[in-house]
Amino acid sequence: MKNILLLGATGSIGDSALDVISQNPDSLNLYGMAFNSNIDKASDIANKFLPDYAYLENSNYQNKLIEKVNPKTEILSGKDELHNLLNDPLVDVIISAISGFSGLETTLMAAKTGKTILLANKESIVVAGDIILPLAKEFNTNVIPIDSEHNAIFQCLVGEKAKEDVSKIIITASGGPFVNKSLDELGMVTKEQALKHPNWEMGSKISIDSATLVNKCLELIEAKYLFDLNEKFFKLVVHPQSIVHSIVTYIDGSSICQMSNPDMRVPISHALSGTNRLPISFLEIDFSSLNLSFQDFPEDRAHVVNIAREICNSGGSSGTVFNAANEIAVASFLEDKIKFSQIYDVIYRTFDLMPLSNNLSIEAIYEIDNQSRREAEKVVKSFT
């Protein structure tokens, strides 16, 4: 039996992970869960899965949660209790699925546990890949990606020597709800349109990232760190059907890809499996009616992709600035403060305004995140 600690249990990845757990009750157990403040959803989960522990970040709701949850589940709050939960010897696997920069703290803690981390929170790698991955190595922590493209690459690399034998890795992008629309056509799109992804059901932040294609920029940086390869190895391609989740081409001309219908339970169950695959119910690909297409990444997003490539090469504070500017821009768009196309302007201007530095401590990353958010807020204000 694998004991799972699910960070971000009330979110979209949380839903998919819980579904995989519920389909495999003989091998998977929800041992602990963490979330921010959604006590209604959290209590439903706790009362169904009966975890030993539920951690909530927003301690104002602690008493209310205690009233709603079965007595078997102990309610935890405060950083020390979170730290103890992550290091509980009974926890086997930690799923890092808190959204955005808020996921950094727990991903860092998880990297030092020597357990297995299933990584969904790409933002923590974008801002602190230089710190998290060496820490994971030092503490013998096994990092398995569950972002679908990275999980696909991970599966295509099993048994291979990436450094010596890979010639190219193609990261696919669905293109989001505005695939084939030029940047000029995106000025007045509404948030309802932007939130409506054609293939995937996801949290609001990543849905907007998908619509802007910034998600693919974050994923390029994530891939560079997770697979420890130069950004030149990675090509971004639009594949609107979201069936091929990425492709690895080897130096002998073989290309290996991983395919499934778009469903986050597939990469999650792969990452939760051990020596055998875990069975889940899934929608089979209908190969006889399959019509796959691949297109170049849109030219008018070249600037944002070039920034992501620059971040891959320079490291340091650049990922933190990019991520903070994007988080402020996305939140401002969702609050109707800026237009969709201005998300890019907030990123570009903040990136230009912030000085870049190297060899950062975690404390410095938090400080730069703060400063970048303040700069990005100023840019947003200048638009309103």
Q: Which two tokens stand for residue 144?
A: 């398995």
203 binds, among Mg ion, ligand NDP, none (CB under 5 to 8 A by kind): ligand NDP
- As measured in angstroms, the least distance from the Cβ of 298 to Mg ion is 18
CA 77 to CA 59: how far, in whole Å?
6
In this structure, how many other beta carbons lie within 10 angstroms of the beta carbon of residue 200?
16
Is 11 a binding residue for ligand NDP by CB under 6 A? The answer is: yes
User: Nearer to ligand NDP by C-beta: 349 or 373?
Assistant: 373
Could you tell me how many helices (H) and strands (E) the chain has, helices first?
Answer: 16, 12
Q: What single letter denotes the amino acid at residue 330?
A: V
Find the helix packing angle between 318-334 and 122-138, rounded to 10°. 150
Residue nearest to ligand NDP (CB): 11
CA 345 to CA 351: how far, in whole Å?
10
User: Nearer to ligand NDP by C-beta: 34 or 223?
Assistant: 34
Is 222 a binding residue for Mg ion by CB under 5 A? The answer is: no
Is 38 a binding residue for ligand NDP by CB under 6 A? The answer is: yes
Binding test (CB under 6 A) with ligand NDP, winner from 69, 117, 123, 169? 123
Tell me if residue 143 falls in helix, strand or coil.
Answer: strand
CB 34 within 8 A of CB 56: yes
Measured CA to CA in angstroms, residue 159 lies from 114, 168, 179, 278 at distances of: 22, 17, 35, 20
- As measured in angstroms, the least distance from the Cβ of 238 to ligand NDP is 17
CA angle 121, 108, 12 (to 5 degrees): 25
CA 319 to CA 361: how far, in whole Å?
14
Is 8 a binding residue for ligand NDP by CB under 6 A? The answer is: yes
Is 147 a binding residue for Mg ion by CB under 5 A? The answer is: yes
52 binds, among ligand NDP, Mg ion, none (CB under 5 to 8 A by kind): none
Is 120 a binding residue for ligand NDP by CB under 6 A? The answer is: yes
Is 209 a binding residue for Mg ion by CB under 5 A? The answer is: no
- As measured in angstroms, the least distance from the Cβ of 121 to ligand NDP is 4
CB 62 within 8 A of CB 56: yes
CB 140 within 8 A of CB 205: no
User: In the window 358-377, what residues touch ligand NDP (CB under 6 A)?
Assistant: none
244 binds, among Mg ion, ligand NDP, none (CB under 5 to 8 A by kind): none
Tell me if residue 114 falls in helix, strand or coil.
Answer: coil
In this structure, how many other beta carbons lie within 10 angstroms of the beta carbon of residue 15?
17
CA 195 to CA 132: how far, in whole Å?
30
Q: Quick one: which segment of 62-70, 143-151, 167-175, 296-304 binds Mg ion (CB under 5 A)?
A: 143-151
CB 223 within 8 A of CB 274: no
User: Nearer to ligand NDP by C-beta: 55 or 250?
Assistant: 55
Q: Quick one: which segment of 116-124, 286-294, 322-330, 361-369 binds ligand NDP (CB under 6 A)?
A: 116-124
Stretch 128-157: interaction string toward ligand NDP, x if CB under 6 A? -------------------x----------
Is 9 a binding residue for ligand NDP by CB under 6 A? The answer is: yes
User: In the window 181-220, what residues touch ligand NDP (CB under 6 A)?
Assistant: 200, 202-203, 205-206
Is 123 a binding residue for Mg ion by CB under 5 A? The answer is: no
Interface residues with ligand NDP (CB under 6 A) are 8-14, 34-38, 57, 97-99, 102-103, 120-123, 147, 200, 202-203, 205-206, 264
Interface residues with Mg ion (CB under 5 A) are 147-149
